[in-house]
Structure 1
Amino acid sequence: MAEATQATFNFELVSPERRLISEPAKMVVIPGEEGDFGVLPGHSALVATIRPGVVEVHSIESGEVRRIFIAGGFADVTPQSCTILAEEAINVLDLNAEALEKALGNLKEDLALSKDDIERARVTKKINLIQAKVAALSGKIAA
């Protein structure tokens, strides 16, 4: 007898502070290092690194698509579940464009004043993260 196709899978999004989401989902789109990828029920098992960007959670409970910005991390996918371990996670609706632009301006000043390659690399990484958050607000994909 053929097994019925699974309509949902268990999805969890965990940050260092807490578990942000733990619910059944019908699809999740993840910003992988090698490109965005979608996870549906029955997906092949994989572990992937995640770049800063937006995770789209297609919720079975609310029927809505939630957009969560993550600052990178790892995704662990099995046919029955998907777990994201994120370095930082925030709902896109909670991002503040004005605060991000101010932080970006300050970081660009810091970059101009940086004295060595290590400091420049540290500030550049922060700039890239802020730019990814700005892109998340505008709905664009950060490179």
Structure 2
Amino acid sequence: MSIDQEKYKNLGFNKYLIGHLANYRSEHVLGYRCEPPYNILGSPLSGRNIFPLWERGITAVYFNYDSKKFEVCSLEDIDDIWLSVDSAQGILAYLLLQLMEDEHSDQEISLVGKLIGFTYINELLKGANQAEDYCSWSEGFPQQCS
């Protein structure tokens, strides 16, 4: 699968993330949570005015040109938007929070965050480690990065 690297760049993604998607390897630290958008292209979601970014199983991550938002939904119910953020930084926050749920160390998250150009890595690690209600905090954090 060939990806449109220019569209990724124009949306604010760096060469590292684009390179991962263009040369996908499942064993990469991003491999489990950030796969090229194969299934999105064959789903009803592809009929919308979107640019598919990546997927993970039935979870779709895309840019919605109509709303000018980065969004996440399930391919099983494309009308139920789980997350909608204004910037690439917000959707990168979502990706890093997903990696944290896979029990990667703070050091690994910090390194990956820097590699993908995430500028709120210190705030993410501090908030994740100090939040009294992690679920509420993690749901709101991506919007704070926009």
Category of TM-score, reference length = shorter chain: under 0.3
Q: More relative contact order in 1 or in 2 (CA 8 Å, sep 6+)?
A: 1
Q: Which structure has the greater CA radius of gyration?
A: 1
Structure richer in helix, relative to its length: 2
